[in-house]
Structure 1
Amino acid sequence: MKSLRPLGFVLVALMLSQCAPDPPKLINVKIAVSLTPLSTAFFVAESSGYFRQCGLLPELIQVNGGKRAFELLEENRVDFSTSSDSVVSYAVQQNTTPFNILASFASSENDIKLISRQPEPLPANSTLGYWSGSASEHLMQTYLALYQSDKTFDQVDAPPEQLVSLFREGKVDVISVWEPFAWQMTDLIEQNDAHVLDAAALHSLHFLLLSNQNSKLDRTVAERLIGALQLATIKVHQHPQEVQQEIRTVLNADQSFIDWIWNDYLFQVKPATSVRYALLSNSRWFNGSRPLNYQNYLANAESLASPSDLAEQWCQDT
């Protein structure tokens, strides 16, 4: 009888393993993510396993700028995207493909910078470079309206990586670019061959999570995604040194870049309705006295639970 006992244990263990439920299947999702420190929560959620913890298997499609990320959403090539509130306001103004504004996950008053060959005031007939339909144009036009409205300037429309090249080649005199492109000009700034104009706080930028209204994914996927971003944001605040190393790797930057930008960012996942005022302020700038109507774009966000509740609901402890 004693010789049969180990066999009995084996049989019981085998029966229990056959009765154990299969692990939940991960949900495939495509997300267009701007390569900027503002997208830190996405990079951390992927590297730390928070997406999987919340039941998602994402494909992060990394692009330069929220405008490009939004274009992928508009073309139905992704389910979600990151974009600035400026890009969103331009899209609403142009009545593009319907989309949902779900949450805000980062903000900054100094992410976008005006880099000038000459210190202020700008010489008349200078050539200005920005990317239309993005926060780059928003900041440039705001600066001109407030401080340089009595002068005439030539203007060049180009994406940020081209603006940096045009500036170095002497083909433009002032550019409006976000990080990490502004940081790429620090060698010229240190040599006094370029200057950062005093434009901080002229535009408070909010980075938003958007969803494609044409996507076949159900609402719970967005809830899981927000939950994962909430967990990632907690890690940003609890382990900043580890997170900074991750950002250096993703953006192929060194510690001098982190030192240049880190204190300019606020990482916090908030319902999209929290940025309603910022969106309305943008719309008055774009559309004069007649504000744009964001209600249809915010409708889904109004019924979402708080980010912390969504993390608790959908993200399993590991």
Structure 2
Amino acid sequence: MTSDDRTPQRATLGTWPTPLEPMPRLAGALGLNPDDLSVKRDDLTGLGGGGNKIRKLEWICGAALADGATTLVTSGAPQSNHARLTAAAGARLGLDVVLVLAGSPGSSASGNLALNGLFGATVVWAGDVGGEALRSAAEQVAEQLRHRGAVPALIPFGGSSVLGARGYVECGRELLAQAPDLATVVVAVGSGGTMAGLVDVLGPARVLGVHCGAVGDPARTVSELASGLSGTHCAPEALRLRLDQVGDGYGALTERVMAAMTLAAHTEGIVLDPVYTGRAMAGLIAATEAGDIVPGQRTILLHSGGLPGLFGHPATLARAEAALTAGGLVRPRGPVGRE
């Protein structure tokens, strides 16, 4: 019997509910009505710099504690928000943490990597690998820990399992209480659990996912997780997904994303990151341009966090710092986000 097969326990890691804040100036810049657009501040979940992974880790770490785990092991990219928050969760719960990250040590250990060290995590570099090879490397590390007498809990990439996605079932219920008239929630899609949990509560028609390039087949990934939550098949083709914001790849900054980050910062003082929330905002802009999001309907941008990762993204920092000597980035005045 696995942890997913029994009534799960939940660790207390975050502060709930997270706020829902209006964004009238941003709405106006997009041609929406002032009351049409809000942001769900899941960047303010509290622990370790905040972010959406805390909701997932409450369930996953609860199961790990119930199984007698002494060490959390997970994997991710070098600037993984999930890895950073796993390190913070381990510190809060008194568990050791080993992070198996793709790549190798570089010249900079800024952003999330610096926080990993501050939280006391151990980093194992897996080399230039991804997908199955990275998962295998994490499994090997867990096996080594067992031989040393530790009790490791192996957490999946991004914390996205059926168990972890329960966190976003809870978020979906929060949203219904805060905004029962919501028409669309826009969310970045990385490892898929956040969108899957929202779909379970709100249905696929009210959740617009924006693919960030973290997985090869986001529709299948979200479909499998959502189906596992509900116990009934969620067809991939039923999902609302935008695939047009990946650009040159997962970690690459695009002009549309930079424009989206700039617009949110200029109009509302909201800071987005270039990998996830910046892409979600760019997808929201593209959806308004395409008529998929229209005036008079309640739209919510789910802010899934990621601020520390911005400080580990040199291309974005260079663009933002260049704006200081240029007198600020140009404020969009007309239609926004067009290249």
TM-score in terms of structure 2 length: 0.29
Give the greater-gyration-radius structure (CA).
1
TM-score in terms of structure 1 length: 0.30
- Structure scoring higher RCO (CA < 8 A, sep ≥ 6) equals 1
The structure where strand makes up a greater share of residues is 1
